[in-house]
Amino acid sequence: MVKENNIPEKNFILTNIRVLNPLKRTDEVYTKQGGIVVKNGRIVDVGSNLLSDSHTEGLPLIDGKGLIVSPGLVDISVFPGSPGYAHRENLLSTSLSAAAGGVTAIILEPHTKPVNDNVATLDFIKRRARDESVVHVYCKAALTRNTDGKEMTEMGLLAESEAIAFGDGPYPVQDSQLIYMSMQYAKRFDALIVNQPQDNRLVNGGVMHDGHMAVRLGLPTMNEVAETVMLNRDIDLNRYCKGRFHASLLSTQRSCNIIHRAKNTQDKLSASVSINNLLLTDKDIEAYRTFFKHSPPLRSEQDKEALIEAVANNTIDIITSHHIPQPVEKKRLPFSQAAFGSVGLETLLPASLELYHDKKIDLLSLIASLTINPARIFSIKAGTIEKNSLADFVLFNVNSPYIVDPNNFKSRAKNSSYEGKKFRSQVCMTFVRGRCVYNNLIV
Amino acid sequence: MTHTHINNSSYTFKHTNLLGIEQLSQHDIVFLLDQSEHMLTAFRSKTPLHNLKDAVVINLFFENSTRTLNSFDIAAKKLGAEVINTAIAHSSIKKGETLLDTAATLNAMRPDIVVIRHSFAGATALLSAKISCPVINAGDGAHEHPTQALLDALTIKLSKGSITGLKVAICGDILHSRVAYSNILLLKQMQADVHVVAPPTLMPHYIETLGITAHTHMSKGIKDCDIIMMLRLQTERMNGIYVPSPKEFYRFYGLDVEKLQNAKPDALIMHPGPTNRGVEIDGSIIENSRSLIERQVESGVAVRMAVMHNLYNAMQKAG
């Protein structure tokens, strides 16, 4: 857990509001007599008849008319820029960007400079986060030293210093022995291993999905087997090792099938998908638009639909923004040379809610994949709205269309895949420990 | 019948090789430990012995060793034998001779006992088939090191009176350890309660098929133990494949004062040596009065004397 920090605590009552609690799978509307009572940064009561109680006397009211409140989002794949790449993003801009997207807890990727592969760097980042961030910050530590894929990091010492998972971010572990040994070793600490399945030898310089578009554009491809070969490997190793394993950023229909089958026998297996792979396809790349260059790549319509279905039926547990800030000079390049990734924190909730509007995923399941599921899998105390939980939540309006303008982003980077796109929902307010960290409402 | 006494009139030690603890019955072990105690008395009092007078003992070490080689060397000399020490660097193997040809060549020189250490499991057994005199396994790969287990047992017996019923934890690199395997077999044979402690990467996957309990948390593994046997972690296994670093290994698997508190207050500490201070064991524990490490070395000579003497005798009787 993030230690107590200097965010001032607030006391208030949120009334006249629809409350989603994905942990208990409840969706309740409270009148002006009920809602959520926040004191000292914690939820002290949730109910339909609160205003008559003496303990709520004198507390300021926030009227949530027409709004929905859900637990704050937990984003499991955020590249923070700092340390090492502060020109791209720092912890303050990352956290403001998160708050604007309804995200109250972020899990940082380890491939900073220096790499977060030792206790000193981990402590440094956590201290920085305490000083700068307006949202909760958790760290994945590197699984291998310098993310070189050759030697395990000091997983036990890092776990004692509150690294919540181990993975090499965008550098999947290629060496079968090393990932096997890591899975074995991690069991001693009940540590979560995260690996994005991508076989470098099969990717072989590919930059986009293998399909009609790639033929038209003449670009080298990352075909589906580059993902499924490694996914099959990892899942079979995890079957043998019986540890906690998370297959991150899946992108193909066959990956969904593989996870679906494996989950029948592996109860500590989980999977995630980038929001980009749920909303976009390789067709969006069109005329070499590098803001649509992602890893894993945007794939076919069929893959996209299968991934959505996998989230809806809980085969895939988590949706992440896969936030990768890139400066313009890294993107304004020939497609093959441009950097992978896009910023996504700010658009995470509105983008995800498109799936609800399109009636592809029900609201509670969708919210669960953004809140309680990542909290549970990554062992974070978050993802619920109930008595005694931290007052980390987001108010949003599902019927409030807007057009994404990256110039308004809190993020330092503007490389959004949704520039100019119309979303039907907006984040209104975000609270962390009862403190308002984002306010888009005129109150 | 009790475990510690045997009816000498009906028992004879019949083995002419000592390739592993696996071949020994409980009677054999009890007998060898009794014999070792006599040898220890003689060794301590510098009583001259002539059990192997005019016999030739060849120490054939295909793998580097200082303490084991010296221990066998001294044991043979204390029994009055002529000793030839052959280290790998000087052997014909380096000139391209096959292992079995080397064995046949040595056999033709009619030695009386051959002591063999080899880095491959099973190599000693392979060689023994071509050697007509007694062969003692001084360690074959990660398989067995029977004289180490016997010397550990002698040390325990001398300190605790008996082995039966003791709770013993063996901690460290179980996967690569012939010391661990031989000790497990012997302790099980003597009906001790055996526990092993290692990170999952240094634990054989099916270790519990030996009828012991495996732990990945040291504090649980050594809880209420009478004996803690530490194993050596080879430097090349601390580099990020098996274990991330010596520092991390020491934090979670090194025997320090804090972890030691989980064991019984009178628990004794053993280590086959050479020790890595600050990796698998705190230096202060090595020098603690509860440490048996130096006594193990002394027991080693006595056990090897007893083993050589009895194999030689059994061979003479077998003709």
pLDDT digit string, tens, across residues B80-100: 999 999 877 555 566 677 888
Cα angle A156, B179, B315 (rounded to 5 degrees) comes to 170
DSSP state at residue A416 = B
Pick from B199, B217, B244: which is nearest to A153 by CB?
B244
- Residue of B248, B250, B253 to mutate for A, most A C-beta atoms under 10 A: B248
Residue type, A380: I
> What is the pLDDT at residue A6?
37
B300 to chain A, minimum CA–CA distance in Å? 35
Cβ contact (<8 Å) for A181 and B244?
no
Q: Determine the Cα–Cα distance for residues A140 and A107; give it in Å rounded to an integer.
A: 7
Name the residue in chain B with its Cα closest to that of A242: B200
What is the token pair recorded at A390? Answer: 């931290």
- Residue of B252, B253, B279 to mutate for A, most A C-beta atoms under 10 A: B252
What does the pLDDT average to over A128-151? 97
- Residue of A122, A155, A184 to mutate for B, most B C-beta atoms under 10 A: A184
Cβ-in-10-Å burial (0-12, 13-18, 19+) of B44 comes to exposed
Residues on chain A touching B248 (C-beta within 8 angstroms): 154-157
Cβ contact (<8 Å) for A156 and B244?
yes
> What is the pLDDT at residue A442?
54
Name the residue in chain A with its Cα closest to that of B237: A151
Comparing CA positions, the residue from A73, A75, A97 lying closest to residue A394 is A73
Q: Which helix (H) or strand (E) holds A379?
A: none
Please give the C-alpha separations between residue B261 and each of B216, B223, B251, B280, in angstroms, as whole numbers: 17, 8, 15, 16
Give the mean pLDDT of chain A: 94
Cβ contact (<8 Å) for B252 and A188?
yes
What SS3 class is residue B141? coil
B191 to chain A, minimum CA–CA distance in Å? 29
Q: How many CA atoms lie within 13 A of A100 on its CB side?
A: 17
The stretches of A267-397 forming alpha helices (DSSP H) are 275-279, 301-312, 328-331, 348-357, 363-370, 372-377
Residues on chain B touching A144 (C-beta within 8 angstroms): 240
What does the pLDDT average to over A407-420? 94
Residues on chain A touching B240 (C-beta within 8 angstroms): 144-145, 150-153
Among A42-56, A187-201, B174-188, B193-207, where is mean pLDDT lowest? A42-56
Comparing CA positions, the residue from A418, A440, A419, A443 lying closest to residue A429 is A440
What does the pLDDT average to over B240-257? 95
A119 touches chain B (CB under 8 A): no
Name the residue in chain B with its Cα closest to that of A243: B200
Rg value, chain A, Cα: 21
A156 touches chain B (CB under 8 A): yes
Cβ-in-10-Å burial (0-12, 13-18, 19+) of B287 comes to exposed
Predicted TM-score (pTM) of the model is 0.93
What is the token pair recorded at B238? Answer: 């601390």
Cβ contact (<8 Å) for A157 and B248?
yes
Could you tell me the pLDDT band of residue A271, with boundaries at 50, 70 and 90?
Answer: very high
Pick from B201, B240, B245: which is nearest to A184 by CB?
B201
Pick from B200, B240, B247: which is nearest to A188 by CB?
B200
Backbone angles phi, psi at A436, to 5 degrees: -75, 115
What does the pLDDT average to over A406-422? 95
What is the token pair recorded at B220? Answer: 């649980």
Length of chain A: 443
Contact A102, A427 (CB under 8 A): yes
> What is the pLDDT at residue A5?
39
> What is the pLDDT at residue A443?
45
Q: At how many degrees (to 10) do helices B26-44 and B293-318 cross?
A: 110
Cα angle A146, A152, A154 (rounded to 5 degrees) comes to 90
Pick from A152, A188, A241: which is nearest to B240 by CB?
A152
Cβ contact (<8 Å) for B244 and A151?
yes
Residue A23 contacts by C-beta under 8 Å, 6 or more apart in sequence?
Answer: A71, A372, A383, A384, A386
Residues on chain B touching A154 (C-beta within 8 angstroms): 244-245, 247-248
> What is the pLDDT at residue A9?
54
Residues on chain B touching A185 (C-beta within 8 angstroms): 199-201, 243-244
A309 touches chain B (CB under 8 A): no
Q: Determine the Cα–Cα distance for residues B229 and B175; give it in Å rounded to an integer.
A: 15
Q: Determine the Cα–Cα distance for residues B28 and B19; give it in Å rounded to an integer.
A: 13
pLDDT digits (tens, 9 = 90+) for A291-308: 999 999 999 999 999 999
User: What ipTM was reported for this prediction?
Assistant: 0.90
Per-residue pLDDT at B9 exceeds 70: no
Q: How many CA atoms lie within 13 A of A115 on its CB side?
A: 18
Comparing CA positions, the residue from B156, B132, B212, B154 lying closest to residue B180 is B212
Per-residue pLDDT at A227 exceeds 80: yes
- Residue of A122, A161, A181 to mutate for B, most B C-beta atoms under 10 A: A181
Q: Determine the Cα–Cα distance for residues A90 and A239; give it in Å rounded to an integer.
A: 38
Name the residue in chain A with its Cα closest to that of B205: A241
Q: Determine the Cα–Cα distance for residues A221 and A239; give it in Å rounded to an integer.
A: 30
Q: At how many degrees (to 10) do helices A91-100 and A119-132 cross?
A: 60
Q: Determine the Cα–Cα distance for residues A256 and A48; give it in Å rounded to an integer.
A: 40
pLDDT digits (tens, 9 = 90+) for A349-401: 999 999 999 999 999 999 999 999 999 999 999 999 999 999 999 999 999 99
> What is the pLDDT at residue B99?
83
Per-residue pLDDT at B202 exceeds 70: yes
A333 touches chain B (CB under 8 A): no
What SS3 class is residue B16? coil
Q: Determine the Cα–Cα distance for residues A62 and A429; give it in Å rounded to an integer.
A: 11
Among A141-155, A236-250, B61-75, where is mean pLDDT lowest? B61-75
> What is the pLDDT at residue A88?
87
What SS3 class is residue B36? helix
Per-residue pLDDT at A21 exceeds 80: yes
DSSP state at residue A339 = P
Per-residue pLDDT at A1 exceeds 50: no
Long-range contact set of residues B6-9: C-beta below 8 Å, sequence gap at least 24: B6/B30, B6/B31
